[in-house]
Amino acid sequence: MPRLGEHGAGLLRQQTKALVRWHGPVLENRDPEPLHQMRVSMRRLRTTLDQVGPALVLPKLVTAERVAKPLRRLGMARDLDVLGQRLEQDLLPQLSKAEARQLKPVLKQLRRERELAHGAVVATLQSSAYLALVAQLQGWLKEPQFSAWGESAADGWVWELQLPALGELFLHPGWLVEELGDQGEAIHGLRIAIKRARYGLEAIGPMAGRSTRRWIDRFKAAQDLLGELNDGEVLRRAIDSQIPQGLDAAMPELLALLDQQRQELWQQWRHQVHSLNTSRQRRSLLKALLADQARLQRVAWWRRWWPAGSGRTSAA
């Protein structure tokens, strides 16, 4: 069983390799997928630094706070990609030619904003601050250093590593929103909390048992659902700001589509609330994580007393 510091270093190694791998394709801007993958890798990097940071003795520049700025830049560009794709691929084919024509200025504006966002991404990824962050990560990974916590066995921290993110998640006020109305920000904040909890659970890696992996899948589904809901709200505001007469008066077909999608997604979410954040469900996640920890510690104990390759001495 690896030490906690070794586990954290392994995660940082994966994420640093991903940042280097996607750096060139993101700058080239030929396909939206590298941007998405780099953003995910950077999110996982931030989660690792938040989660396992106390077990690692890291260089001065390697902090979750220093990851935040490039992550925001990537996020702005990625969000514009998603909005553009949803408008062109999902909504436009369902509209009359008259309403589709009215959306052309909106699409042009989204493309202009995407170009500006890409410029900001390029500037960030070529900045001395970002390059120094990656260089220090690479240098540290050659000779990683651990704190006293990092020298302890990773199997003893399966549950404790999740406490901050899960506490933030299950106490988030977004769970209490019963009617969407103007509560979009609260719901968006809840989505972010779900995402952080999911990344934290995924960071357990092979230590996660079947029940824990099911929770990861459930959080992923909830995150995707709230993401679609948020994208619809952002898109509605973006279109409304570009239509002089306003969305309500100028594009009733589009408004009806957006309202229908909004209602369907909201009903799906309200159903998920009752299957995710109840006392019974919270206890089931706690039991899953504690069971993972106990199982791993039993395996570690057995290996200490029964080394690999040894056999029992049979009485002849």
In the predicted model, is pLDDT for residue 112 greater than 90? yes
Judged by DSSP in three states, 220 sits in: helix
The domain segmentation of the chain, as residue ranges, is 1-154, 158-299
Query: What is 1-154's CATH superfamily?
Result: CHAD domain (1.40.20.10)
**Residue 185 pLDDT > 50:** yes
Residue 315 has pLDDT above 50, yes or no: no
Give the pLDDT score at 97: 92
What pLDDT, on a 0 to 100 scale, did the predictor assign at position 300? Answer: 57
- Positive or negative: CA dihedral 30, 34, 39, 42: negative
Average pLDDT in the 26-40 region? Answer: 96
**Eight-class DSSP state of 86:** I
Q: Cβ-count burial of 65 within 10 angstroms (0-12 exposed, 13-18 middle, 19+ buried)?
A: exposed
- Structure confidence at residue 182 (pLDDT): 80
- Integer-rounded Cα Rg, in Å, for the chain is 23
pLDDT band at 136 (very low <50, low <70, confident <90, very high): very high
Neighbour-count burial for 77-90, b at 16+ CB within 10 Å, e otherwise: bbbbbbbbebbeee
- 303 pLDDT higher than 70: no
Q: What mean pLDDT value characterizes the chain?
A: 90
Question: For position 299, what pLDDT does the model report?
Answer: 60
pLDDT per residue as tens digits for the range 115-128: 999 999 999 999 99
DSSP-derived 3-state class of residue 306: coil
Residues 6+ positions from 62 with CB-CB distance below 8 Å: 49, 133, 136, 137, 140
What average pLDDT does the segment 212-241 reach? 93
143-174 residue pLDDT tens: 999 999 999 998 888 888 999 999 999 999 99
pLDDT at 298: 75
Look at residue 209 and give its three-state secondary structure: coil
Q: Say what percent of the chain tops pLDDT 90.
A: 73
Whether 283 contacts 207, CB under 8 Å: no
- Give 264-293 pLDDT, tens digit per residue: 999 999 998 888 999 999 999 999 999 988
Q: Enter the pTM of the model.
A: 0.88
Average pLDDT over every residue of 40-51? 95
Report whether pLDDT(307) > 60. Answer: no
Using the structure block, give the residue that is written with the tokens 């890696």.
Answer: 205
